[in-house]
Copies of this chain bind each other. A is one copy, B any other.
Amino acid sequence: MNTPNFTAGKCSDCPIRHRAVCARCNADELVELDAIKYYRTYEAGQTVIWSGDKMGFVGSVVSGVATLTQTMEDGRTQMVGLLLPSDFVGRPGRDGAAYNVVATTDVVMCCFRKKPFEELMSKTPHIAHRLLEMTLDELDAAREWMLVLGRKTAREKIASLLSIIARRNTTPDNDSVSTVFDLPLTREAMADYLGLTLETVSRQVSALKRDGVIQLQGKRHVTVPDMTRLMEEAGDDTDGGFLI
């Protein structure tokens, strides 16, 4: 139900039309993209791409959530990206995948065959410009996350993750102030995101609940009565100083 059925294919009806890599394209360019695109679906838990494998395509997440992870030989793993609808997957100009991509919910991807996509990119500036913009945003997000990983306590890390998900994933709430959302991640995935163990994640989530910062219905459904409080717990500036 939070995976809307979009596998039809008309770009004009596409839910991510205005935010994805194709956002700036005009009608003509969309026709060209249309010719090299196809949809693929992945079930929750399925691996989309293995690190090191040759990639035949790049693409956008249309619906669902996927994760980007790195793994060391001994099995320690770190998530390095959370892919939400409209996020771009793959790197033009590179053959091999640098990370594992795993679907954490059912996922629909809009894929472009890589070679034609690269040619299209060099012909039309709109795609390249949008991709640059998106990459710069991701770089900012990665750097924000470096602060979380390097300097925040376990409690602050959890609060940071919750407020990020809340910001990108809120379902407009009927009863006013409080923010409500579903966690798209298991405790283990949260741990991999935050550089913690799943036990520590569980403990800190419980602690935030005990202290009234969040409420839980089941294990995944979260209510935040006071976002400002949550952001204070995250150690962030509460007065969101935004850059344009």
A74-91 near B? 1/0 per residue, CB < 8 Å = 101110110000000001
* CB <8 Å contact, B94 and A143: no
A118-142 near B? 1/0 per residue, CB < 8 Å = 0000100100110111011011101
Most central of A74, A99, A147, A235 by chain B CB within 10 Å: A147
How many angstroms from the CA of A130 to the CA of B133 in the assembled complex?
A: 13
How many angstroms from the CA of A51 to the CA of B78 in the assembled complex?
A: 28
Which residues on B sit within 8 Å (CB–CB) of A194? 150
Q: Which of A5-13, A25-33, A236-244 is near enough to bind chain B?
A: A236-244
* A residues 13-39 in Cβ contact with B at 8 Å: none
**Residue tally, chain A, CB below 8 Å to B:** 46
- Say yes or no: is A52 at the interface (Cβ < 8 Å to chain B): yes
Which residues on B sit within 8 Å (CB–CB) of A132? 128, 131-132, 135
Q: Which residues in A have some Cβ–Cβ distance to B below 8 Å?
A: 52, 68, 70, 72-74, 76-78, 80-81, 91, 93-96, 98-99, 122, 125, 128-129, 131-133, 135-136, 138-140, 142-147, 149-151, 194-195, 235, 237, 241, 243-244
